[in-house]
């Protein structure tokens, strides 16, 4: 209702304006109003055209070599992952040398302690690796163990899968008793050792990491 009244008033004023019945100040106010309206309308139309033009912009597509380049970059990344420890430990590359040094120290201490215990009649704990499980029962002594306490043996291997361009961790986790059975070449197919997928904990008995 108010709008109609307002509109009616405007029309009335517009008639006065057209007939020159308004004083100068009212005239210029109406001229300003009309100009603003026209400008608004123009802007609205421009906005519509703009949005339409943006919708109609041609769709840009990647180059033909996009997939090849991406595949190569993924492959490169996977290969880097296969040589670095970071992907499965979540460490940054610069920490790898630090890890290697720490592992070496642990191994050296284990070896030293093991030698001493062996001298005293103890027996060595052996670390089995996937490769020596498959080829020979050769083992390496790292740390001593007592017969009563089962010691976890972790064998980790980072394998690059060329088909999937990814790398995976394969490994086994088991107690010393299981390891002893697994050391025998004929036991390779037995599911004695539990597959170790993601929970990679370095145990106190020793570590064997293959790259």
Least Å from the CB of residue 7 to other proteins: 25
- Is-contact 155 130, C-beta < 8 A? yes
Binding region for other proteins (CB under 8 A) out of 17-25, 73-81, 176-184, 201-209: 73-81
| Binding flags for other proteins, 138-157, as an x/- string (CB under 8 A) | --------------------
| Residue among 171 and 174 whose Cβ is closer to other proteins | 171
- Is-contact 150 175, C-beta < 8 A? yes
Least Å from the CB of residue 65 to other proteins: 9
Among 73, 116, 123, 190, binds other proteins (CB under 8 A): 73
75 alpha carbon, distance to own chain's centre:
15
Is 196 strand, coil or helix?
coil
- Helices H, strands E: what count in the chain? 7, 6
Q: Up-side HSE of residue 32: CA atoms within 13 Å toward CB? A: 6
- Is-contact 170 130, C-beta < 8 A? yes
The DSSP line for 82-118 is HH-SHHHHT--GGGHHHHHHHHHHHHHHHHHHHHHHH
Residue 35: CB atoms within 10 Å? 10
Footprint of other proteins on residues 31-70 (CB under 8 A)? 42-43, 45-47, 49-51, 53-55, 57-63, 66-67, 69-70
Least Å from the CB of residue 38 to other proteins: 12
| Residue among 23 and 64 whose Cβ is closer to other proteins | 64
Least Å from the CB of residue 177 to other proteins: 32
- Is-contact 141 118, C-beta < 8 A? yes
Least Å from the CB of residue 51 to other proteins: 6
Under the rule (CB under 8 A), what is the footprint of other proteins?
42-43, 45-47, 49-51, 53-55, 57-63, 66-67, 69-70, 73-74, 77, 164-166
């Amino acid at each position: 209702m108010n709008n109609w009244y307002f509109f009616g008033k405007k029309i009335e004023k517009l008639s006065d304006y057209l007939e020159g019945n308004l004083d100068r100040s009212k005239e210029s106010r109406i001229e300003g109003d009309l100009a603003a309206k026209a400008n608004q309308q123009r802007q609205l139309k421009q906005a519509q055209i703009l949005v339409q033009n943006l919708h109609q912009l041609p769709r840009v597509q990647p180059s033909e070599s996009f997939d090849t380049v991406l595949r190569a970059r993924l492959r490169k990344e996977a290969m880097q992952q296969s040589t670095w420890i970071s992907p499965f430990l979540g460490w940054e590359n610069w920490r790898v040398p630090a890890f290697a040094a720490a592992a070496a120290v642990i191994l050296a201490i284990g070896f030293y302690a093991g030698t001493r215990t062996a001298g005293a009649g103890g027996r060595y704990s052996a670390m089995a690796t996937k490769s020596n499980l498959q080829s020979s029962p050769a083992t390496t002594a790292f740390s001593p163990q007592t017969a009563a306490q089962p010691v976890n043996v972790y064998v980790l291997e980072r394998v690059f899968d060329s088909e999937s361009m990814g790398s995976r961790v394969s490994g086994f986790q088991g107690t010393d008793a299981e390891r002893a059975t697994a050391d025998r070449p004929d036991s390779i197919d037995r599911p004695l050792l539990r597959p170790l997928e993601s929970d990679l904990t370095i145990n106190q008995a020793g570590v064997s990491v293959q790259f």
